[in-house]
Structure 1
Amino acid sequence: MNKGKWTAAGITLFLLAFFLFLNWQYPYSFISVKKSIRFQPDPKVAEEYKTDFQSFRQHYYSNSVELASLTDNRTEFVLNAFDQKWLMSSEPVTMDSMKLNDILTEVQDARTLIMELAFRETYPQETKEYLKIALENSIEMESYLLMVKNNPSITRERSNSMFHQMHMMFQNELKMYESFYESYQQSYKK
C-alpha cells in the first residue's frame, strides 16, 4: 500500500476509535448509538428500600379500609410510583430513555397527587409539614430526572453516580410520604 492509503486507514481507525470512546464515555450524547447505561444498584440500599416499601404498603392496606378518604385513595396511587422493580432489586438494570421516561412519568404522577392532597385536604400542622417536604422532594426528584434525561454531556461514571443518588432520593421520599401518612392517620383517629 502506498502512503496515502495508510494515512487514510489510520485516520479512519482514529476516528472510529474516537467515536467508540465518545459513545462509551457519554452514553446519552447525541452521537451515542444506544443511549443507555447498565446501572448496578447497591444491594444494601435495594434491600432496605424493598423492606421499607413492603412495610409501608402492608401498613397502608391494613389501615386504609377503615379510613376511606381522599388521602387514602391517592396514597394507593402514590404507592405505584414507589413500586418500581429497579428500586427493589440488586440486579443490574438498563437505563435507557424509555426507562427514564417511565420513571419520570411515575414521579410526575405522584407529584400531581401530592399537590392535590396539599390543596384539597385539611391537615394538622405537623401533617402539613410532612406533606410539604414530600412535595418538595418529589419536585426535586422530577428536576433531577429531567437533568439526567436531557443532559447529553453526562459521563458514564457521573450517570452511575446520579442513578445511585436517584435511588436514595426515592428512599427518602418514601420515608417522608410514610411519615406524612402515619401523621395523617394519627390525626384522623383523634
Structure 2
Amino acid sequence: MSKKVKKISWWAGGFIVFIVIFISIMTWFYPYSPFSVNKSYAYKPDKILFNGKSYEQILNEFKASYEKDLKADADNKYPNLTINRTQYILPIFEQDWLINESSVPIDAMKLDMMLFEVQQVREVLLNLDVQVDYTSEQRRYLVDMIRSIISLEDNIIELQNENYASRKELNRRFDNLYGAFTSNFRRFSSFYKWG
C-alpha cells in the first residue's frame, strides 16, 4: 500500500471516529437534538409529598372516591355530566411518568400523545362549560382549570421544540411540567368537589 493510500485511510478513519464521538456526545448531552441517535430522555421525578402523601396516593384516593360517585350516579335518569366526563379527564393525570418512582423514557411520540390527550381534556372542559349550569363559583374554578390546561399545552409544545436543550435543562423543564400536571390535578379535584 502506498503512503498516499495509507494517509487517506488514516484521514477517513479519523473522520469516522470524529463523527461517532460527535454523535455520541450530542446524544448524551442533547437528547432531542437532530444529531441524537436516540431522541429520548429518561425522566425521574423527585419524590414530592403533599401533606405527607405522594402524588400517587392522592390520585388513588381521588379515584376511589370518584368510582363511588360514578356507581351512585349510574342509577340517575339524568347523569351528572361532571362525574360522567371525569373518566375522560383522569387519564392525563395517570400517566406512567407522573406516577412511577423510577426513570421513564420520554420520546417525541410520547410528547405528541401527551399533547393530544391534554388538548382532548381541554375540549371536554369547554363542553362542560357549555353543557352544565354551574354556579359562578364553580364556573370560576372551571375557567381557571381551562386556562391552566392551555398553559400545560404551551409547556408541552415548548418541550417538543427544544432540540438543543441540555440534559440539565430538560430535567428542569420536565420538573416544571410535572409540577404543572400535579397542580392541574389539584385544581381539577377542587373543581370536581364543587361540581
Question: How many angstroms apart in 1 are the aligned matches of 2:100 and 2:14?
Answer: 45
The one-letter amino acid paired with 1:21 is: I
Higher helix share: 1
User: 1:43: Cα distance to partner?
Assistant: 2.8
Contact 1:43 1:89 in 2 (8 A): no
User: 1:144: Cα distance to partner?
Assistant: 0.8
TM-aligned CA distance change 1:4 to 1:172, over 3 Å: same
Larger Rg: 2
Unpaired runs of at least 5, structure 2: 74-78
Within 5 Å, which residues of 2 pair with 1:1-190? 6-44=10-48, 48-67=54-73, 68-184=79-195
Question: How many angstroms apart in 1 are the aligned matches of 2:146 and 2:181?
Answer: 12
What secondary structure, in the 3-state scheme, does the structure 2 residue paired with 1:71 have? Answer: helix
User: 1:23: Cα distance to partner?
Assistant: 2.2
User: 1:8: Cα distance to partner?
Assistant: 4.9
The one-letter amino acid paired with 1:114 is: L
* Deviation by residue 1:50-102 (Cα, 9 ceiling, x = unmatched): 11211211121222344422221111211122122221110111111122222
What secondary structure, in the 3-state scheme, does the structure 1 residue paired with 2:54 have? Answer: helix
The one-letter amino acid paired with 1:156 is: R
For structure 1, which segment, 173-182 or 64-73, has the greater mean C-alpha deviation from structure 2 after superposition?
Answer: 64-73
For structure 1, which segment, 109-118 or 38-47, has the greater mean C-alpha deviation from structure 2 after superposition?
Answer: 38-47
What secondary structure, in the 3-state scheme, does the structure 2 residue paired with 1:146 have? Answer: helix
User: 1:36: Cα distance to partner?
Assistant: 0.4
What secondary structure, in the 3-state scheme, does the structure 2 residue paired with 1:37 have? Answer: strand
| RMSD value, Cα | 2.1
Identity of aligned residues (%): 30
Contact 2:43 2:97 in 1 (8 A): no
What secondary structure, in the 3-state scheme, does the structure 2 residue paired with 1:38 have? Answer: strand
TM-aligned CA distance change 1:161 to 1:125, over 3 Å: same
Instruction: Return the TM-score normalized by structure 1.
Output: 0.86
The one-letter amino acid paired with 2:40 is: S
